[in-house]
Amino acid sequence: MAIAKNQVVVVDYKLQNGNGDGDLIEETFGSDPLSFIFGIGQMIPAFEANLENTQEGDEFSFLIEAANGYGLFEDEAVVQIPLQQFAQDGKVSEESIQVGRQLTVQDQQGQTYHGVVQSADSENVTVDFNHPMAGTDLYFTGVVRTVRDATESELDHGHAHE
């Protein structure tokens, strides 16, 4: 059965930075494979495009350039936030501005953004709101383990039930 919309796809893969010689980012071989419903927006569109029409047992290898993956790194997504915006009861906790800390913030319209603290000084906290893999070319190799029609329950819930 060839992979098509509304099918549960199970793959084992290895993800590397840039090419087959790049740094290992993630691997599912020997652990839990990736399971998803094809064509409903759970995966990067370029990932699905490269798997479309493959079948159970097929091996794959493909490159997704950064612009078609998690996007290019945008300098303007690295912002300085006044230190006092991190204050609670007039004090700023060192833990709340620790380098590497992941933050979730809302703008005045209620839009939520996720970022990572890059640095902090006596006046500002620099936060990177780029996706952690922005600017990274993604090289996938792997094998399609299973392809089957999604159940109505899976489609209703928006995820595979394994």
Say which CATH number the domain at 12 has.
3.10.50.40
**Which tens digits make up the pLDDT trace of 115-138?**
999 999 999 999 999 999 999 999
How much is the mean pLDDT over the chain? 94
Task: Report which of 13, 47, 15 is spatially closest to residue 33, judged by C-alpha positions.
Answer: 13
DSSP state of 152: H
- For the chain, what's the residue count? 162
Model-level pTM?
0.84
Predicted local confidence at residue 9, as pLDDT = 97
User: Are 40 and 66 in a shared domain?
Assistant: yes
Counted domains in the chain: 2
Q: Which domain holds residue 42?
A: 7-70+133-156
- The amino acid occupying position 137 is D
Say which CATH number the domain at 113 has.
2.40.10.330
User: Are 12 and 40 in a shared domain?
Assistant: yes
Q: CA 55, CA 74: separation in Å to the nearest integer?
A: 37
**Alpha carbon 5 to chain centroid distance?**
21
Residue 162 domain-assigned? no
Predicted local confidence at residue 98, as pLDDT = 95
Residue 66 domain-assigned? yes
User: Are 80 and 53 in a shared domain?
Assistant: no
**Which tens digits make up the pLDDT trace of 10-61?**
999 999 999 989 999 999 998 999 999 999 999 999 999 999 999 999 999 9
User: Are 15 and 57 in a shared domain?
Assistant: yes
Residue 106 domain-assigned? yes
Q: CA 15, CA 47: separation in Å to the nearest integer?
A: 11
- Is the Cα torsion angle 134, 139, 141, 147 positive or negative in sign? positive
H helix runs in 29-108, sequence order: 45-51
Predicted local confidence at residue 53, as pLDDT = 95
